[in-house]
Amino acid sequence: MTFLNVVEIESALVALRNAYPSLTQLIPLPNETYEHRQSNALLIRGSPWFECRPAVVFVSGVHAREWGGPDILVNLATDLLEAYSTNAGLAYGGKVFAADVIRSIVDQTDVVVFPDVNPDGRAYSMAAPADSAQALWRKNRNPASSGGVATRIGVDVNRNYDFLWNFPVTFAPNVGPASTDPSSYTFSGTGPFSEPESRNVQWLVDRFPRARYFVDVHSYTGLVLYPWGDDQNQTTDPSMSFRNSAWDGKRGIANDAYRDYVPAWRLAELQTAAAIMRDGILAVRGQSYVSQQGFALYPTSGTSEDWAFTREFLSPSRGKLSGFVIEFNKNIDFFPTWAEMVDLIADIDAGLIALCAYARPGRFAVILCWIRKWFWAILHRVFPPELWGPYGPWDRMVQVIRGIPKFIGRVIGRE
């Protein structure tokens, strides 16, 4: 058994679509990478008539040297589909998901996996290395800012999202959540979403307006991280937040005046969901991951989980999206053996499926969803848009009624 190479990651997704055509959709991502690779995501959706489903979006393979992330997500999709289609439950070590749990995950949620966000970087890291810089490559392979110098190639995709991207302005001086130097391995690019890899993630998440959970799988350290990553959290002052430019130049330092805002109830939700993943991992073989805020000692800017979490603040009508990062592997190592990786796959897939089970809508939420749906359907039937729209008869009647006083006034004036 061996790690998936870049070609196999994509062909595995195609094979799952071919093997389970009624349960899956292959989603080609629109932005080609610099080396002209096109990535795919896979949507797992049973019972398409069930319209009240939340979506759970998993991505991996963002950093080239963090081997094993795509293997985790490809296996997750495979296990869910195999178990669902055979009406079986699923077990990873001591963590067991009954068949009805698997069935309801597939029937009542959209599970979206995007296993290889940065295929150019992965192909480079998995090639026989010319030097150590290649072996431990982290970024994508975009040479736009390199000036022709090999060591300056690439952008850190996970510093390229639109969350406080312009860190020299938004963070305190001498705080380096990313880098403006193309030779740095945390180079944040020439603008937010300048890279096709991060734009693909943005496009994918936007395609699922009912996305409620977003998890970016990285390695290593054995952590489940939740927002914010720019500074410590606070729950009392909504004006002290990433949106308020008055706090520019003050972010990123622990235990000072600035802390980023999370409503208390949302912080509790983030912590609960993170704990569910942590406990799912623990139950497999006793690996005790730590769930904590992304900002621990040092800040980050432009990361995926923070960007995902901004959606509910910037576009409240689109609903709540909780963003997370899992740092798999408790050892200080980007290159576990495949035998170690098999255990890591079981750990993380158990944590992610536990999150999917948690994401399933409750009965009350489903009833509310159907009521809302039927209410709007009936309203549109009784008052169709062509009747109550701006050029419909209802609008003309309103204009006529509004014109009556004017007409009367004119008649009186004439008399």
Partner 1 sequence: MPDSADPPDNERDDDIFAVRVTATEAQVHELVGRGVDYGDRPHFGDVHEGKGQLDLFLTRDQIEGLRGEGYEVEIASNQSARQRERLGEVEQGDRYEAGRIPPKGLGRKIDGRGQAGQTPPHLQDRDDGPEPRP
Give the residue from 305, 296, 54, 310 showing the smallest Cα distance to 198.
Answer: 305
Q: Which stretch binds partner 1 (CB under 8 A): 177-185, 202-210, 356-364, 384-392?
A: 177-185
Q: Site for partner 1 (CB under 8 A): which residue of 23, 41, 345, 355?
A: 345
Residue closer to partner 1, measured from CB, 101 or 153: 101
| 129 interacts with partner 1 by CB under 8 A | yes
Give the residue from 219, 216, 351 showing the smallest Cα distance to 279.
Answer: 351
Closest approach of partner 1 to the CB of residue 92, in Å = 5
| 132 interacts with partner 1 by CB under 8 A | yes
Interface pattern 82-101 for partner 1 (x via CB under 8 A): xx--xxxxxxx-x-xxxxxx
Sign of CA dihedral 269, 270, 275, 281: positive
Classify residue 375 by burial, with Cβ atoms within 10 Å: 0-12, 13-18, 19+: exposed
Residue entry with tokens 């495949």: 338
- Which residues, in sequence order, are CB contacts of 194 under 8 Å at separation 6+? 155, 160
Q: Site for partner 1 (CB under 8 A): which residue of 16, 43, 240, 352?
A: 16
Considering only residues 208 to 237 of the shown chain, the ones binding partner 1 according to CB under 8 A are 218-221
| 12 interacts with partner 1 by CB under 8 A | yes
Considering only residues 183 to 202 of the shown chain, the ones binding partner 1 according to CB under 8 A are 184-185
Q: Give the bridge partners for 219, in sequence order.
A: 328
Q: Site for partner 1 (CB under 8 A): which residue of 35, 206, 237, 333?
A: 333
Residue closer to partner 1, measured from CB, 159 or 259: 159
Closest approach of partner 1 to the CB of residue 87, in Å = 6
Chain centroid to Cα 147, Å, comes to 32
Residue closer to partner 1, measured from CB, 86 or 315: 86
Query: What value, to the nearest 5°, has the Cα angle with vertex 284 and ends 278 and 290?
Result: 25
Q: Site for partner 1 (CB under 8 A): which residue of 38, 52, 107, 136?
A: 136
Residue closer to partner 1, measured from CB, 175 or 205: 175
Classify residue 173 by burial, with Cβ atoms within 10 Å: 0-12, 13-18, 19+: exposed
